[in-house]
Structure 1
Amino acid sequence: MGFLDGEKWHGRVFTGSWVPAEGGESTVTEPATGDELGRIGGATAGDVTRSAARAAEAQREWAATPFHERAAVLRRAGDLWSRHADELRDWLVRESGSIPGKADFELHVAAQECYEASALPSHSLGELLPSEAPRLSMARRVPAGVVGVISPFNAPLILSIRSVAPALALGNAVVLKPDPRTAVCGGVALARVFEEAGLPAGLLHVLPGGADVGQALIEDPHVRIISFTGSTAAGRAVGELAGRHLKRAHLELGGNSALIVLDDADIEQTTSAAAWGSFFHQGQICMTTGRHLVHESLYDDYVARLAETASHLPVGNPATDQVALGPIIDAAQRDKIHRLVTASVEAGAGLVTGGEYDGLFYRPTVLAAAASSVPAYDEEVFGPVAPVARFGSVDEVAALAADSEYGLSLGILTRDVNKGLALADRIPTGIAHINDQTVNDEAHAPFGGVRASGTGSRFGGAAANVEAFTETRWVTVRGDVAGYPF
């Protein structure tokens, strides 16, 4: 019997134990083949109500648990990702369409998220304050209570665990709503890991479902914080609803990240990095390089080299073949990608390579002569598409890169590091990499975007996680009861 044995979760949701789903079942589908991998339980708004109430009750005891015991649970969870890596890797490959290397990266980050979170319970959670009165005054960080986590399909394990692990470590309970398309990797896997790690029952709930379940999670009075990762359009709705209920919402949203290639860049190194930035995991990453801004002196060579690289990248079933790109998650996403590519060509972009698909396998695509009138340049494609535009001066490229509603990641390739840093300062993004492409992630580093890409760095590192998943309380202590003139 495997770690993720389907008999345990078939048609069920996790509320501290595996219980029948009130919302019926949905098929877990392998996008590369269309095969059924299992049947996951679907949650309802009623499930959310029951889980949130139970989570709130369990959280009080968990918050009072000695810090070293909470830390030990997170350390054991970290070890379990490695112990069961072979089985978990297979699920990431088959359910989410990841190539094995991307699956290994997710497992590595998942373990690191737990190890980093295990240090939070012993982290300093407050500060002493001066006071005008004869008393001890302090600002103390306390658990928020119940945290609602809504995670997407594209990196289902990372984008769930990066909220779940620190929230639990800091004394909260969590209700997790993974995307139903990747509910095993983004939900069942976490439930099983924390079961085995000894997390007390009732502190983690996994409720796959649709928008109605997400709405119920945001509206439930027991849930005090919402951690959402997804599209900008959905994030606006989440933020609006959370604001109506006076809840903090941490929003990590879309992107259309620029990779800037300055005139002194090494052309061979740039195209390798550029291909990775646009085509890794079929471009289904919020940090994907969505705009290639290349100095005019390198432009023609860059386009030709990038297209040559793209044309030779193998696309296919990552579970059976040695491929660089796997399948798009579903037909709706594939069709959106193709509509943007087709509309971009109609708007004047040159289709250098790609623009074709077979089933859910979309060829890596390079579009030349991209500009602000080209849809694939203006919008987040979320697919393996690389629009390339030219520029003539540093001032021009600074303006081009900043001319976007998004502000997530930025890459600048140059031999002059100081020049790259100075340029990055002119472009508002939450992340910037000099001499690297735009797709990077480390568990201890702050992660988040600005503008339409989200509400800033709310993930990664002690400072961001403590800020995200605790509340600040002012506490004073006096030796005797204060006297007043009444």
Structure 2
Amino acid sequence: MGVLLGDDWRGGIFDGGWRAGSGGTIEVTEPATGAVLGRVGAATPEDVRTAATRAAAAQRGWAATDPTERAAVLRRAGALWEQHAAEVQSWIVRESGAIGVKAATETSTAAQECYEAAALPTHPAGSVLAGEQGRWSFARRRPAGVVSVIAPFNFPLILSIRAVAPALALGNAVLLKPDPRTPVCGGVVLARVFQEAGLPEGLLHVLPGGADVGEAAVTAPEVRVVAFTGSTAAGRRVGALGAEHLKRTHLELGGNNALIVLPGADPALAASAGAFGSFLHQGQICMATGRHLVHESLHDEYVHLLADKARELPVGDPARGEVALGPIIDERQLAHVDRIVRDTVAAGATLAAGGTHEGLFYSPTVLAEVETSMPAWEQEVFGPVAPVLPFSDVDEAVELARATPYGLSLGILGDVGVAMRVADAVPSGIVHVNEQTVSDAANVPFGGVGASGTGGRAGGAEANIEAFTETQWLTVRPGIAPYPF
């Protein structure tokens, strides 16, 4: 194996070292071939409770550690992502079915997340308030304590590290539950990087497992904050469980994101943007372009150009050749995508391109003559599917874009003045003018509204401090106050 991972992780869960999980092992498979890549330990709820107790004990010392020491750990972690990028990228390609460019984006973003987080320990930690009655008054930020991070399969490294890094930097301990389909690049690699970076034992626990492990990571008494990324349905359950147990839950959920192509936009450039937004990583992205709203003057040309691009994009095993799309993550997700496409065609839509698959390789698909009541328009597909609908004027485009419970990302292509009016009128956590809907950066607050989650809670100093610390009111007097009792 590579120089970062070694072999000691195989069959284990992580608590500062590797040990057998109480739930046996989880088989790690390559979706492109079905090959077994290895096995990780399977945690149980009891493992989570043990980890939470140990994490709470370790966190107190970590919070008291000199801020410059915490910052140094994060800087070393950032350098390790860069040093071992090729090895980690190989795992991302094989375990998650990503193409090489997407895998490289994950490792470079992981490094940037750590470098951004390295500035948090020395960031101003509060404010001086107006005093009264002869005392000083402060509002200061304190570590929350133990943070649970529950991450999905689609961007397994980014969607773990963007919560793990700032939470650790701000003096917390972390319980990380990666998706059991991507436990290596979503969990094992983080454990190894932070272990090599000198993170003290007991502060990061990697606990692969199913829904019962996730529930334990929310309900463990020591856990104060939960950062969850996943489907809206699962997020509702996490949010309800968190509310029942009085935990702060930060929920980054699904999306059915619109790309609006305004009159006068360049149709070739627009179709290229639309193809990228819908087909990158097989459409398995919460920010993927799920609805293409195209002005009627451009609609037919746009569908033609988008369908041509879909037919030209190579699909195959990204570990064995240059392709644009790899495999869908598993049979269950493939069946979900295929059902939505078939039901939409049965409802009257036209299949302009795609709609077929070989094994887990689903061809890029373009649907025309779509109506708003059809499944591919109403639902988050999470596959390489681009439904296209014409609009007659900007007001209609706004109403169509707003007609969804989701509010994650919005792309608007065309005149900037008109685009800004649209941006102001459509509720969305993220808006991109003259870009498609998929974008992220380590220094920006990320999150959606409505069924897409609870707002921007990851990225950038202010959002991360808000997410992973508590506000404490502190008063100080020069001497003991006199009281009338």
Same fold (TM > 0.5) = yes
Q: Which residue of 1 aligns with 2:337?
A: 337
* Equivalent position SS for 1:264: coil
Aligned partners of 1:145 and 1:219: how far apart in 2? Answer: 14
Alignment of 1:304 onto 2:304 = yes
- Shift in alpha-carbon separation, 1:52–1:288, aligned structure 2, 3 A: same
Q: Which residue of 2 aligns with 1:417?
A: 416
Aligned partners of 1:359 and 1:405: how far apart in 2? Answer: 32
Aligned partners of 2:139 and 2:277: how far apart in 1? Answer: 42
Does the 8 A contact of 1:176 with 1:207 survive in 2? yes
Measured after TM superposition, the shift of residue 266 of structure 1 is: 0.7
Q: Which residue of 1 aligns with 2:241?
A: 241
User: Which residue identity is paired with 1:478?
Assistant: R
Does the 8 A contact of 2:135 with 2:478 survive in 1? yes
Alignment of 1:440 onto 2:462 = no
Alignment of 1:131 onto 2:125 = no
Does the 8 A contact of 2:278 with 2:288 survive in 1? yes
* Equivalent position SS for 1:432: strand
Identity of counterpart residues, as a percentage? 64
Aligned partners of 1:370 and 1:260: how far apart in 2? Answer: 15
Alignment of 1:38 onto 2:38 = yes
TM alignment of 1:76-475, pairs within 5 A = 76-414=76-414, 416-475=415-474
User: Which residue identity is paired with 1:349?
Assistant: A
User: Which residue identity is paired with 1:328?
Assistant: I
User: Which residue identity is paired with 2:340?
Assistant: L
Answer with 416-425 or 350-359: which moved more. Answer: 416-425
Aligned partners of 2:5 and 2:143: how far apart in 1? Answer: 33
Does the 8 A contact of 2:427 with 2:449 survive in 1? yes
Does the 8 A contact of 2:48 with 2:216 survive in 1? yes
Per-residue Cα deviation, 1:271-317 (whole angstroms, up to 9, x for no partner) = 11110000000000000000000000000000000000000100000
Answer with 346-355 or 165-174: which moved more. Answer: 346-355
Per-residue Cα deviation, 1:442-467 (whole angstroms, up to 9, x for no partner) = 00011000000000000110010000
* Equivalent position SS for 2:105: helix
Alignment of 1:2 onto 2:2 = yes
* Equivalent position SS for 2:121: helix
User: Which residue identity is paired with 1:433?
Assistant: H
Per-residue Cα deviation, 1:315-373 (whole angstroms, up to 9, x for no partner) = 00000011000000000000000000000011111111100000000000000022211
Per-residue Cα deviation, 1:146-183 (whole angstroms, up to 9, x for no partner) = 00000000000000000000000000000000001000
Aligned partners of 2:5 and 2:167: how far apart in 1? Answer: 27
Alignment of 1:482 onto 2:455 = no
Aligned partners of 1:6 and 1:40: how far apart in 2? Answer: 13
Does the 8 A contact of 1:347 with 1:373 survive in 2? no
Measured after TM superposition, the shift of residue 134 of structure 1 is: 1.1
- Shift in alpha-carbon separation, 1:209–1:6, aligned structure 2, 3 A: farther
Q: Which residue of 2 aligns with 1:28?
A: 28
Measured after TM superposition, the shift of residue 9 of structure 1 is: 1.1
User: Which residue identity is paired with 1:449?
Assistant: G
**Count of residues paired in the alignment:** 485
Does the 8 A contact of 1:3 with 1:192 survive in 2? no
* Equivalent position SS for 2:430: coil
Aligned partners of 1:134 and 1:281: how far apart in 2? Answer: 61
User: Which residue identity is paired with 1:140?
Assistant: R
Once superposed, what is the RMSD of the aligned Cα atoms? 0.7
* Equivalent position SS for 1:53: helix
Aligned partners of 1:286 and 1:125: how far apart in 2? Answer: 32
Aligned partners of 2:427 and 2:312: how far apart in 1? Answer: 34
Task: Give me the TM-score of the superposition, normalised by structure 2.
Answer: 0.99
Answer with 50-59 or 417-426: which moved more. Answer: 417-426
Structure 2 unaligned blocks of 5 or more: none
Aligned partners of 1:5 and 1:137: how far apart in 2? Answer: 49
Aligned partners of 2:342 and 2:37: how far apart in 1? Answer: 33
Measured after TM superposition, the shift of residue 6 of structure 1 is: 5.6
Aligned partners of 1:150 and 1:485: how far apart in 2? Answer: 52
Per-residue Cα deviation, 1:386-437 (whole angstroms, up to 9, x for no partner) = 00000001110000001100000000000x2122111111000000000000
Per-residue Cα deviation, 1:228-249 (whole angstroms, up to 9, x for no partner) = 0000000000000000000100
Does the 8 A contact of 1:411 with 1:433 survive in 2? yes
Aligned partners of 2:418 and 2:5: how far apart in 1? Answer: 53
* Equivalent position SS for 1:328: coil
Aligned partners of 1:450 and 1:106: how far apart in 2? Answer: 25
Does the 8 A contact of 1:142 with 1:472 survive in 2? yes
* Equivalent position SS for 2:425: coil
Q: Which residue of 2 aligns with 1:60?
A: 60
Structure 1 unaligned blocks of 5 or more: none
Does the 8 A contact of 2:256 with 2:289 survive in 1? yes
Task: Give me the TM-score of the superposition, normalised by structure 1.
Answer: 0.99
User: Which residue identity is paired with 1:320?
Assistant: R
Structure 1 residue ranges (4+ consecutive) displaced by more than 4 angstroms after TM superposition = none
Aligned partners of 1:240 and 1:337: how far apart in 2? Answer: 28
